[in-house]
């Protein structure tokens, strides 16, 4: 593509990602004397964080609480940026094995015609009870990721906050999901060659469409790809919207880098079990990896190199990392912090693990100016922990989103309140703990 | 949901289950097996000729109870003295600056003031912790192995709602790399179950986590069989459009019909054996003829005889209580409810009936019957008088960190105000599963005379940073994190990746 054409495309489709405006808490809060992990490698013992009108106003070690501020004594607590969960189905999947309660993607094998055109924003249910459960675990932001049906592309992922409010979308169209590796082969004649040929074909068609949509629509063509999908891929081929590529094996990762360079894509890898084998090339291509720290089994041939040291090896090579789980576990994203601890136990520097849970996802998704660290000017997504946030025995004690303290009660705490006493009582259990 | 997520669900949540089926030996035989060598003892006690032979008669037909006996033999071990450690014995005791002595593959002493015998290998475990070997009551290693292909998917015999006749050991692939990873997580024994697609999934196998060429070489000597059964969504989802059961009512009628048939079957054999006893070979009557063997009924009869332990996959509290009534109706015992997401709602019933509940620390929500998961589940099960909580994995990843899962469940219980010291909670992944599996007389705690199955951790195992440094099984060190030579690698992982050896327990 010539630069001229590319500029035209950018002009045509720039800013397709819309940013929503959060409601900021109109108050001043001073979190005083905590152990502050900033998310960008610093630890401030006895640290203070001043929050004003939803944003962090000051961070330091000898600050004074502003007059009229709500003062929170954080001594003995650890203060971190809110956990940013980079691969979730929050709000689009209440229960994975219940068809009506699972909107995470089209069913496989049913020939549903669209892929890239799907948009998580259309289905996110911010009142899902799964959101408060994760909020209580210190998760404040998440990327909501649609999964592909019969197309290689799954649609547009969106970042949400976990306030549960009806305007909790932080940014729509953050990334376009693609399944590659064996998942791609499954959708392309059961061969990886098929998945890459189809990927290139779709990117070519999307370029062609973007160059002149009106002409493209009138043109005689095979019609294999829906216009809606090609339209959705326009920001991808212009390099504005990253591809969130689910891929694990070394060979697929090398092909992915070639395709990225050939088409000028932005790419974020999810999985990357063998990414450590390609680490220098990933670093050179500026491709971050959202990896699974516990993945160490040869589940498929593309996973033969899976190792607990994936995180530390990628880090040493200069690859930006974040974490995701191995199960369908948007129900329990708190476990992300434990995955950080597991990566540390396998050699990853502690501060890098903290950054991988906070700053790195924010930056990967283009939200680094507003989110991801405890620093002046950032949106105040803050968590107070009762101990080391990466430790399995620790818990979040206070959670702030957009500067507002969050309610940490949830359906699980209501069930606990109802059933912690099993004695018969004056009225049945159905009268208890539901307030 | 991505493909790998769907695969994980299909394996671990959708149609996975457990199945234990036929106990071959009683406790006494187990003891003699331990003392005399498992293979010989098992063979001697289980051959048909050894049971019911009679001087005057050739002997009544008695179906073999253990035709695939354990051939496990401990690997050579040295007298080993671990000293200076925080020792959690699994019996509720914590010994600071404690020592453990292993001799001849057995634990010979545990205490605070022990001296190393001359010539013993000494492990200085200052600042380290020692626990019994971790035991997973719910694993599918070997029957859903890595790599996960159609070729190796051997965990669910989805050909009918009652497959009590299948035995997990006939699916187990000893070359599953998952065994090695579990070893690096301190797992020394596990129960491998058939999946949960069926009302009756089949028999389980209890194995020692020792790399072996054959399944028989792994089988835990003297361990009873279990039977895997499943409640709720899975059987009706799998069979709803294949002849049923279509509903939970259908599930129960399926169980009850089978138990009625099993009681008839048992009576046929008992009638035959008493007729044989009364038969006079010198008299006029023909020799009584034995009933035709039925493998499915043999397993169920083993349950009714108390030889085979019932392990029932059940999420909902109300269903579990109905299962308890069914067990009473037919005169058998449920040993453990597995997954038991709602055990906390009926923990009093479980304790009263002396039934264990094996649960995850914090996994759930993937289907409606798992929607009410809470992190305090294990603690609330434990908090009942006589409550028996077990943390299980049902996962080739989860089994590698049962210590961390127990830690999460412990922490949730502490936050609600329960007193849960580490020395008590360690039993959730050691003594309690051993008790439920019928091997507590041999392993599961650090007590003199027991198999020397133990783990030396680099720190408090109830931490995300804890790693198993040394794992001993019957006194033999089979994993040493600091010595690559003491780390198993399965066949599948050697000569891979450009003819390099990949894998290894600590991969």
Neighbours of B53 (CB within 10 A): 13
The answer on pLDDT for B156 being more than 50 is yes
Q: How far apart are CA A176 and CA A167, in angstroms?
A: 22
The DSSP secondary-structure symbol of A379 reads: B
Per CB-CB distance under 8 Å, the chain A contacts of B352 are: none
Q: Which chain A residue is nearest to residue B459, measuring alpha carbons?
A: A345
The answer to whether the CB atoms of A338 and B404 lie below 8 A apart is yes
User: Dihedral angle at the C-alpha atoms of A217, A223, A227, A229, nearest 10 degrees?
Assistant: -150
| B313 contacts B281 by C-beta, under 8 angstroms | no
SS3 label, residue B461: coil
For residues B156 and B144, give the distance between their C-alpha atoms in angstroms, rounded to a whole number. Answer: 9
- Collapsing DSSP states into helix, strand and coil, what is residue B483? coil
- Could you tell me the two tokens for A72? 């929170």
d(CA B373, CA B364): 6
- For residue B198 the two structure tokens come to 């069926």
**Inter-chain touch B1–A344, beta carbons under 8 Å:** no
- Structural tokens at position A20: 């929503």
Q: Do B506 and A308 touch (CB under 8 A)?
A: yes
Inter-chain contact A297–B181, Cβ cutoff 8 Å?
Answer: yes
Chain A nearest CA to B485, separation (Å): 18
CB contact under 8 A, A98 and B367: yes
Q: What is the DSSP letter of A32?
A: E
Please say whether the beta carbons of B125 and B495 come within 8 A.
no
Helix (H) or strand (E) holding B236: helix B233-239
Q: How many CB atoms lie within 10 A of CB B110?
A: 24
Percent of residues, chain B, with pLDDT higher than 90:
85
Residue B383 in this model has a pLDDT that exceeds 70? yes
Residues A282/A321, Cβ–Cβ less than 8 Å:
no
A421: left (phi over 0), alpha (psi -120 to 50) or beta: beta
Give the closest-approach CA distance of B364 to chain A in angstroms: 7
Q: What are phi and psi of A255, to 5 degrees?
A: -65, -40
> Between residues 418 and 477 of chain B, which touch chain A (CB distance below 8 Å)?
462-467
Q: What is the DSSP letter of B13?
A: I
B371 in Cβ contact with B345 (< 8 Å): no
How far A62 CA sits from the closest chain B CA (Å)? 32
| pLDDT at residue A22, as a whole number | 64
Res B502: pLDDT: 62
Chain B residue numbers with beta carbons less than 8 Å from the beta carbon of A307 are 507
Q: Is B53 a residue whose pLDDT tops 70?
A: no
Q: CB of B481 within 8 Å of any CB in chain A?
A: no
Q: Is B199 exposed, middle or buried (0-12, 13-18, 19+ CB in 10 A)?
A: buried
Sheet holding B389-391, edge to edge: B200-203, B226-230, B309-314, B334-339, B356-359, B389-391
CB B345 within 8 A of CB B377: no
Does residue B371 sit at the A interface (CB-CB below 8 Å)? yes
CA angle A274, A276, A278 (to 5 degrees): 85
Residue A128 confidence (pLDDT)? 97
- Total Cβ atoms within 10 A of residue A365: 27
Q: What is the pLDDT confidence band of residue B95, given thresholds at 50, 70 and 90? A: very high
Mean pLDDT of B249-270: 98
CB of A20 within 8 A of CB of A367? no
In B213-242, the residues whose Cβ lies within 8 Å of chain A are 233
Please write the tens of the pLDDT for every residue from B463-503: 999 999 999 999 999 999 999 899 999 999 998 876 566 66
Contact A298 B492 (CB under 8 A): yes
Q: How far is A429 from chain B (nearest CA, A)?
A: 10
Q: What is the DSSP letter of B10?
A: I
Which of B362, B367, B497 minimises the CB distance to A95?
B367
Distance CA A334, CA A394 (A): 10
Residue pair A11/A212 in contact by the 8 Å Cβ criterion: no
Give me the residues of B, 133-152, that contact A with CB < 8 A: 146-149
CB contact under 8 A, A392 and B1: no
pTM to 2 decimal places: 0.92
Nearest-angstrom CA–CA distance, B483 and B478? 11
Strand partners, B456: B130, B470
pLDDT at B33 over 70: no
- Given a cut of 90, whether residue B218 has pLDDT beyond it is yes
Q: In the structure encoding, which two tokens stand for residue B76, read together?
A: 């050579």
Min Cα separation B180/chain A (Å) = 10
DSSP string, B426-458: GGGGTHHHHHHHT-TTTSSS--TTSB--EEEES
- Do you know the residue count of chain B? 507
Q: Write down the ipTM of this complex.
A: 0.93
CA dist., res. B414 & res. B418, Å (int): 5
Helix (H) or strand (E) holding B394: none
pLDDT confidence of residue B506: 72
Q: Are A91 and A160 in contact (CB under 8 A)?
A: yes
Arithmetic mean of pLDDT over chain B: 90
The 3-state DSSP class for residue B495 equals coil
Look at the block and give the residue holding tokens 């049906």.
A149
B325-345 residue pLDDT tens: 999 999 999 999 999 999 999
For A104, the closest chain B residue by CA position comes to B1
Contact present, A275 and A209 (Cβ < 8 Å):
no
Task: Kindly list the residues from chain A whose CB atom is less than 8 angstroms away from the CB atom of residue B503.
Answer: 298
Query: What's the confidence (pLDDT) of residue B500?
Result: 66
Q: Please check whether residue B380 touches A, CB under 8 A.
A: yes
Cis before B245? omega within 30: yes
- Chunked into runs of 10 residues, chain A (435 residues) has average pLDDT values of 40 44 80 98 97 97 96 98 97 93 95 96 97 98 96 98 96 98 95 97 96 91 86 98 98 98 98 97 98 95 94 98 83 95 98 98 98 98 98 98 97 96 95 77
pLDDT of residue B42: 39
DSSP A19: B
Question: Among candidates B201, B175, B179, B181, which has minimal Cα distance to B190?
Answer: B179
Q: SS3 for A194?
A: helix
For residue A26, what pLDDT is reported? 77
State mean pLDDT over B115-121.
Answer: 97
Q: Which segments within B334-475 are labelled E, that is strand?
A: 334-339, 356-359, 389-391, 454-457, 468-473
Cβ distance B335 to B308 under 8 Å?
Answer: no
Mean pLDDT of B64-72: 97
Torsion of CA B413, B416, B419, B421, to 10 degrees: 40
The SS3 of residue A427 is: coil
CA pseudo-torsion sign A181, A186, A191, A195 = negative
Confidence of residue B58 (pLDDT cuts 50, 70, 90): confident
Q: B357 CB near a chain A CB, below 8 Å?
A: no
């Amino acid at each position: 593509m010539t630069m001229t054409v590319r500029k035209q495309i950018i002009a045509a489709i720039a800013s397709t990602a819309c940013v929503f405006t959060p409601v900021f808490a109109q108050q001043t809060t001073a979190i005083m004397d905590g152990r502050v992990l900033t998310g960008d490698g610093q630890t401030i013992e006895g640290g203070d964080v001043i929050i004003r009108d939803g944003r962090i106003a000051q961070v330091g070690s000898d600050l004074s609480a502003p007059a009229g501020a709500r003062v929170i004594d954080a001594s003995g607590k650890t203060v971190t940026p809110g956990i940013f969960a980079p691969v979730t189905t929050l709000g689009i999947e209440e229960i994975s094995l219940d068809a009506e309660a699972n909107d995470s993607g089209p069913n496989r094998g049913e020939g549903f015609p669209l892929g890239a055109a799907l948009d998580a924003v259309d289905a996110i249910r911010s009142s899902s009870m799964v959101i408060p459960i994760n909020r209580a675990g210190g998760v404040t932001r998440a990327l909501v990721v649609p999964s592909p049906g019969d197309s290689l592309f799954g649609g547009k992922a969106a970042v949400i906050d976990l306030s549960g409010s009806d305007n909790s979308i932080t940014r729509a169209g953050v990334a376009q999901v693609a399944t590659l590796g064996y998942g791609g082969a499954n959708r392309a004649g059961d061969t990886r060659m098929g998945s890459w040929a189809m990927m290139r074909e779709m990117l070519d068609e999307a370029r062609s469409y973007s160059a002149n949509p009106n002409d493209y629509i009138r043109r005689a063509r095979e019609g294999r790809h829906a216009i809606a999908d090609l339209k959705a891929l326009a920001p991808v081929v212009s390099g504005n919207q990253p591809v969130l590529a689910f891929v694990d094996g070394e060979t697929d990762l090398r092909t992915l880098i070639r395709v990225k360079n050939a088409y000028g894509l932005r790419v974020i890898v999810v999985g990357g079990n063998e990414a450590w084998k390609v680490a220098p090339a990933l670093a050179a291509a500026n491709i971050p990896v959202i990896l699974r720290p516990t993945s160490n089994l040869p589940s498929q041939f593309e996973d033969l190199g899976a190792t607990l040291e994936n995180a530390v090896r990628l880090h040493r090579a200069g690859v930006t990392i974040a974490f995701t789980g191995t199960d369908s576990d948007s129900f329990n994203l708190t476990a992300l912090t434990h995955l950080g601890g597991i990566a540390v136990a396998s050699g990853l520097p502690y501060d890098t693990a903290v950054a991988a849970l906070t700053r790195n996802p924010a930056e990967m998704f283009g939200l680094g100016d507003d989110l991801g660290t405890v620093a002046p000017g950032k949106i105040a997504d803050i968590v107070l922990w009762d101990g080391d946030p990466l430790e399995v025995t620790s818990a979040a004690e206070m959670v702030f989103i957009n500067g507002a303290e969050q309610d940490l009660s949830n359906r699980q705490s209501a069930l606990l309140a109802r059933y912690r006493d099993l004695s018969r009582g004056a009225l049945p259990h159905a009268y208890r703990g539901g307030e | 949901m991505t493909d790998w997520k769907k695969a994980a669900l299909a394996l671990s949540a959708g149609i996975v289950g457990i199945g234990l089926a036929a106990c071959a030996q009683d406790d006494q035989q187990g003891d003699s097996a331990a003392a005399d060598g498992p293979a010989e003892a098992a063979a001697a006690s289980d051959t048909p000729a050894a049971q019911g032979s009679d001087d005057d008669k050739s002997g009544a037909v008695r179906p073999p109870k253990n035709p695939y006996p354990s051939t496990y033999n401990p690997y050579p071990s040295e007298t080993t003295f671990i000293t200076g450690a925080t020792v959690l014995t699994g019996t509720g005791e914590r010994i600071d600056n404690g020592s453990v002595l292993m001799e001849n593959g057995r634990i010979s002493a545990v205490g605070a003031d022990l001296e190393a015998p001359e010539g013993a290998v000494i492990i200085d475990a200052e600042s380290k912790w020692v626990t019994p070997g971790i035991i997973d009551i719910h694993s599918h290693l070997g029957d859903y192995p890595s790599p996960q292909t159609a070729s190796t998917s051997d965990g669910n015999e989805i050909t009918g709602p009652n497959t009590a006749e299948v035995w997990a050991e006939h699916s187990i692939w000893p070359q599953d790399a998952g065994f090695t990873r579990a070893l690096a997580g301190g797992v020394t024994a596990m129960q491998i179950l058939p999946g949960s697609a069926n009302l009756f999934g089949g028999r389980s196998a209890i194995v020692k986590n020792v790399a072996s060429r054959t399944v028989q070489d792994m089988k835990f000597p003297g361990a009873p069989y279990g039977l895997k059964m499943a409640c709720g969504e899975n059987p009706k989802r799998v069979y709803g459009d294949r002849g049923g059961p279509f509903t939970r009512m259908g599930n129960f009628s399926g169980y009850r019909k089978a138990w009625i048939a099993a009681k008839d079957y048992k009576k046929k054999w008992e009638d035959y054996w008493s007729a044989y006893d009364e038969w006079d070979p010198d008299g006029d009557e023909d020799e009584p003829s034995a009933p035709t063997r039925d493998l499915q009924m043999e397993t169920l009869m083993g349950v009714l005889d108390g030889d085979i332990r019932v392990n029932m996959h059940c999420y909902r509290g109300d269903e579990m209580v109905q299962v308890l009534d069914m067990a009473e109706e037919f005169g058998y015992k449920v040993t453990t409810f597995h997954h038991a997401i709602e055990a906390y709602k009926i923990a009093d019933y479980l304790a009263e009936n002396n039934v264990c509940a094996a649960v995850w620390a914090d996994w759930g929500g993937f289907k409606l019957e798992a929607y009410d998961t809470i992190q305090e589940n294990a603690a609330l099960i434990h908090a009942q008088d006589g409550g028996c909580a077990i943390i299980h994995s049902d996962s080739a990843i989860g089994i590698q960190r049962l210590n961390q899962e127990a830690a999460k469940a412990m922490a949730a219980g502490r936050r609600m105000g329960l007193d849960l010291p580490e020395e008590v909670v360690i039993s959730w992944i050691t003594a309690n599963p051993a008790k439920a599996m019928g091997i507590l007389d041999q392993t599961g705690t650090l007590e003199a005379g027991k198999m020397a199955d133990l783990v030396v951790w680099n720190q408090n195992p109830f931490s995300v940073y804890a790693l198993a440094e040394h794992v001993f099984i019957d006194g033999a060190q089979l994993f040493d994190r600091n010595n690559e030579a003491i780390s198993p690698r399965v066949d599948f992982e050697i000569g891979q990746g450009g003819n390099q050896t990949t894998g290894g327990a600590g991969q």
